[in-house]
Amino acid sequence: MASLTDPFEGIFDNRRRLAASVVVLLALAVVPFTTTPYITDIVFTGLVFVMLGVSWNLIAGYAGQISLGHHAFFGLGAFVSAWLTTPARANLPEAIQSPALLAIAVGALVAGLLALVLGPILFRLTGHYFAIGTLAVAAIIQLVLLDQRRFSGGSTGYYVQNNLGDSATFLLMLAATVLVVLVTYAIVNSRSGLGMRAIHDDEDAASSLGVNPLRYKMIAFVVSAAMAGLAGGFYAQFTLYVNPDSTLGVPWMVDTLVVVVLGGMGTMVGPLVGAGLFLSLDTVLRETAGEFATTIEGALIIIFIIFVPGGLYKLLSDRYGSDDAVEGDATAEQAE
C-alpha cells in the first residue's frame, strides 16, 4: 500500500467505508432543504471545523510544526472574499466586485500567498519559537486590521453581500470540504507526505538523509493556509458578516486545536471524527453549560492530551480492531 504512484489508492478499497461516506455526504447535502436554518447553521459550522482541522493537522500533525496562527489565514480569507463581493463598504473600487465563488477562491489564494511569503521567515524558527512567532504574526495582522477601520469596519464589523443564497453556499462548502479532505489525503500519501512525517519524527535525521525540511514545511504551511483561507471565505459568504475581533480572533485557533486533539493528531480520520464530536459537544454545551462552555472545552483539551493522547480515533480503532487502521501510519511503516 506504499502508494506513491496512486495517491488515492486505499481510500476506496473498503466498500463499507465508501458506502458510509456516500450516505453521510448525501445526508449532509439535504440538510439545508429538509431542516431548519438553525440546524443548517450548525452543520455549516461543522464543515468549517472539518476544513480547519484537516488543514491544521497537515502542518501540525504531519509536518510537526505547531502553528498557532491558523486563525489569521482563516480571517484573511474571510476578509478578502468580503472585500471582493462587497467592495463599496471598504471604499474599494467597484471594478473589483466579483462573484462569490471567485471571491472565495481568491481569499484562499491570498491566504496561501501570505503563507508563501511568511514561511521562509517563520521557518527560521523551530519548536516553541515557531509556535509563538506564528501567534505574534497573527496578532499583528489582527491589530492592523482593527486599526484600519476603513477596510475592516473596525469593531462594528463589516456586512457582506452576495448573490449565492444560503443553500447554494452550503452545497458549495460541502463540495469544497470533500475536496480539501481528498487533496490532504493525496498529499499525505505522496512523497511530500513521507517527507513531512520524516521531519516530524526527527528533522536532523531526515535532513541528513537528503530530505529538505524547508521544502516540505513550506508545502504543508502554504497548502494548510490556503485551506484555512478557503474555509474563511466560505464562512464570510455564508454568515454575511465579518469582524476583525471575532473573524480574526484566537477562538478559531482554539476550535481548530480542539477538533484535532479530540479526533487525533496526525491521522486522516482524526479531524473528521473530532469535528463531529466537537460540534455536538459545542452545541450541547452552549445549551446546557452556557458561559462555562469555553472553560469545559479548555479542560477537555488538557484531559485528552493526558489521558487520550491519540485522540478519539485511536481510542476507537484500538478497541474495535482496525481492519482499516490509520492509513497514514500504515503507509509510513511500509515505506521505511
Partner 1 sequence: MVATDLLVESVLNGLLLGGIYAVAALGLSLVFGIMDIVNLAHGHMLMVGAYVAIVLFTALGLTPIVGMVVAFAVLFVLGMALQRVVLERVVGEGMEQPIIVLFGLALILESLGRIVVGSDAQATEIGIPGDAISIAGATLSFPRVVTFVLSIALILGTWAFLKYTTTGLAIRATAQNSSAAQYMGVDTDNIYVLTLGIGTGLAGAAGALLSMLFPITPYVGWSYLLKAFAVVVLGGVGSVAGTLVGGLILGVSENVGVLYLGGGFRDIISFGIFVLVLLVRPHGLFGSSGGGE
Contacts to partner 1 by CB under 8 A: 60, 64, 66, 68, 121, 124-129, 131-133, 135-137, 139-140, 143-144, 146-147, 250, 254, 257, 261, 265, 291-292, 294-295, 297-302, 305-306, 309
Q: How far is the CB of 289 from partner 1 (least distance, A)?
A: 11
Residue pair 99/140 in contact (Cβ under 8 Å)? The answer is no
Minimum distance of partner 1 from residue 76's CB (angstroms): 17
Name the nearest CA neighbour of 127 among 225, 205, 194, 203.
203
CB 303 to partner 1: min, Å? 9
User: Judged by CB, which is closer to partner 1: 43, or 206?
Assistant: 206
Nearer to partner 1, 140 or 182 (CB): 140
Q: Please report how close the Cβ of residue 147 comes to partner 1 at its closest, in angstroms.
A: 5
Rounded least distance, CB 191 to partner 1, Å = 24
Contact 311, 274 (CB under 8 A): yes
Say how far apart CA 263 and CA 267 lie, in whole Å.
8
Judge whether 8 and 185 are in contact, CB under 8 Å: yes
The residue whose grid cell reads 467505508 is 17
CB of residue 59 to partner 1, shortest distance in Å: 12
Cell numbers 511503516: residue: 333
Residues whose CB is less than 8 angstroms from the CB of residue 162 and which lie 6 or more positions away in sequence, other chains included: 85, 86, 99, 100, 103, 169, 237, 240
Smaller CB separation from partner 1, 32 or 266: 266
Which CB, 69 or 107, lies closer to partner 1? 69
Nearer to partner 1, 30 or 305 (CB): 305
Which lies closer to partner 1 via its Cβ, residue 94 or residue 291? 291
Report which of 239, 315, 285, 261 is spatially closest to residue 52, judged by C-alpha positions: 261
- The rounded distance, in Å, linking the Cα atoms of 83 and 158 is 9
